[in-house]
């Protein structure tokens, strides 16, 4: 007995051809919109045509990946609704096939796209994002001038630093603090009004330095006008480029998250969300494919238009829920894994309810 019959291959062919046609169409639209928004910068900075072509070649898949569940859902709604309007689904079910049997091709297509999305999300898209972001940094993004507010950093097991503000062009900062801990006790605290970094010697120059040492019941204070010292960090360590999370493969991203947590970097939840989302999105695409098949397989008044309207509403609800839970993870302490998977769990329940209704 063949795993996929002629009808299954027909549905799967419709499924995949509609999906890839929809993806191609959306890629063209995304590139046109993106070019129209950035054309002034590209012309002003004289971006070469060859680099522009490569940029759009790698940027379109990146944008499509972000909305993969939506791009899997809407084509399924569209072609299934067309089949229903031509009574093809009624004819298939009239042969004695159950609705569960009818869904086999959708399950196969959803799994195929899900596996493809997993591989691209975790390994291929990050590599293309490196090319995309390098181009944007060169011709579109402004150069970062200073840190975004207060910076806390762990540079060893018992040493922590703080910088109020750091300017990268002049390599200078203000209100610098180094705290050396002994367990839970503060052993030494060094403060400086200003700091500067010398690239040639990899040395920090501290001005108006105050060093307070705690030696049990005895506390000493030393003031030094200027102090040169080497620390286990550079100016680049004071700036966290949030775009780099898009450029790392998942093993690299996991290593980065663990390293930043060990260094005491505040709020790496957006990096964790990116990591978990790479797995959650393909599963979301599979769930939404099943929902689309259950919704659009019934012939209704209004035809494809009514199904597409309902599909767009469900897609918008999914995206809204994903953004809402991600915001909670970033700002309210919700664990990123839970935040990313909440929409999937809710929509999986919806898929099961719709499936049971079709079976009854």
Q: Which of 233, 242, 240, 188 is nearest to 211 (CA)?
A: 188
Q: Is the pLDDT of residue 331 over 50?
A: yes
Is the overall model pTM greater than 0.85, yes or no? Answer: no
CB 307, CB 76: distance < 8 Å: no
CA 341-342-343 angle, to 5 degrees, is: 95
Q: Which of helix, strand or coil describes residue 224?
A: strand
Q: What is the pLDDT of residue 338?
A: 93
The tokens of 112 are what?
A: 């195929």
Q: What is the pLDDT of residues 116-137, one digit of tens each?
A: 999 999 999 999 999 998 888 8
Segment 253-270 mean pLDDT: 79
Q: In degrees rounded to 5, what are phi and psi of residue 319?
A: -65, -40
What is the pLDDT confidence band of residue 240, given thresholds at 50, 70 and 90? Answer: low
CB count within 10 Å of CB 246 equals 18
Half-sphere exposure of 51 (CA within 13 A, CB side): 16
Task: Give the pLDDT score at 146.
Answer: 65
Q: What is the pLDDT of residue 245?
A: 85
Stronger pLDDT, 140 or 103, i.e. the higher one = 103
Closest CA to 231 of 137, 162, 142: 162
pLDDT at 313: 87
Q: Is the pLDDT of residue 5 over 70?
A: yes
Longest dimension (CA), the chain: 91
- Among the listed ranges 132-141, 203-212, 242-251, 302-311, which one has the minimum average pLDDT value? 302-311
- CA-nearest of 112, 79, 95 to 5 is 95
Mean pLDDT along residues 248-262: 87
Tell me: pLDDT of 319 over 90.
no
DSSP-based three-state secondary structure for 202? coil
Provide the pLDDT confidence category of residue 144 given band limits of 50, 70 and 90: low
- What's the rounded mean pLDDT across residues 191-199? 94
Q: DSSP character for 146?
A: B
User: CB–CB of 201/229 below 8 Å?
Assistant: no
Residue 109 has pLDDT above 90, yes or no: yes
pLDDT of residue 141: 73
pLDDT above 70 covers a percentage of the chain that reads 94
Could you give the percent of the chain with pLDDT greater than 90? Answer: 46
- 195 forms bridges with which residues in the sheet? 173, 206
Has residue 148 got a pLDDT over 60? yes
Cα first-last separation, the chain: 27
pLDDT of 289 higher than 70:
yes
Q: Buried b / exposed e across 17-50, counting CB within 10 Å, b at 16+?
A: ebbeebbeebbeebbeeeeeebeeebeeeebeee
pLDDT at 332: 77
Averaged pLDDT, 280-284? 94
Confidence of residue 1 (pLDDT cuts 50, 70, 90): very low
Beta bridge partner(s), residue 194: 174, 207
pLDDT number for residue 302: 62
pLDDT top residue among 326 and 106: 106
User: Which of helix, strand or coil describes residue 34?
Assistant: helix
SS3 percent helix, strand, coil of the chain, rounded to 5, is 60, 20, 20
Contact 162/271 with Cβ under 8 angstroms? no
């Amino acid at each position: 007995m063949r795993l996929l019959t002629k009808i299954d291959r027909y549905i799967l062919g419709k499924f995949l051809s509609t999906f890839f046609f929809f993806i191609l169409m959306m890629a063209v639209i995304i590139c046109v919109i993106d070019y129209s928004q950035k054309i002034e910068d590209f012309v002003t900075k004289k971006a070469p045509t060859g680099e522009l072509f490569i940029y759009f070649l790698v940027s379109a898949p990146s944008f499509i990946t972000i909305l993969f569940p939506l791009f899997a859902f809407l084509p399924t709604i569209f072609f299934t609704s067309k089949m229903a309007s031509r009574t093809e689904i009624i004819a298939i079910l009239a042969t004695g096939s159950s609705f569960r049997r009818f869904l086999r091709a959708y399950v196969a297509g959803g799994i195929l796209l899900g596996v493809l999305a997993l591989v691209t999300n975790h390994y291929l898209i990050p590599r293309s994002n490196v090319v995309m972001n390098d181009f944007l940094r060169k011709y579109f993004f402004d150069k970062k001038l200073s840190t975004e507010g207060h910076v806390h950093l762990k540079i060893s097991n018992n040493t922590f630093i703080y910088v109020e503000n750091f300017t990268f062009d002049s390599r200078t900062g203000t209100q610098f603090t180094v705290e050396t801990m002994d367990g839970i006790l503060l052993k030494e605290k060094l403060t400086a009004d200003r700091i500067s970094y010398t690239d040639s010697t990899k040395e920090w120059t501290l001005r108006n330095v105050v060093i307070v040492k705690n030696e049990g019941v005895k506390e000493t204070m030393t003031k030094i006008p200027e102090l040169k010292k080497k620390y286990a960090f550079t100016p680049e360590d004071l700036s966290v480029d949030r775009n780099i999370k898009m450029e790392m493969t998942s093993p690299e991203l996991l290593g980065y998250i663990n390293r930043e947590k060990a260094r005491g970097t505040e709020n790496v939840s957006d990096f964790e969300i990116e990591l978990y989302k790479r797995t959650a999105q393909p599963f979301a695409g599979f769930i939404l494919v099943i929902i689309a098949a259950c919704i659009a397989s019934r012939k209704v008044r209004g035809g494809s238009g009514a199904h597409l309207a309902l599909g767009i509403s469900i897609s918008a609800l999914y995206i809204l829920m994903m953004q809402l839970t991600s915001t909670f993870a970033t700002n309210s302490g919700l664990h990123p894994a839970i935040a990313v998977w909440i929409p999937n769990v809710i929509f999986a329940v919806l898929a099961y309810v719709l499936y049971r209704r079709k079976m009854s």
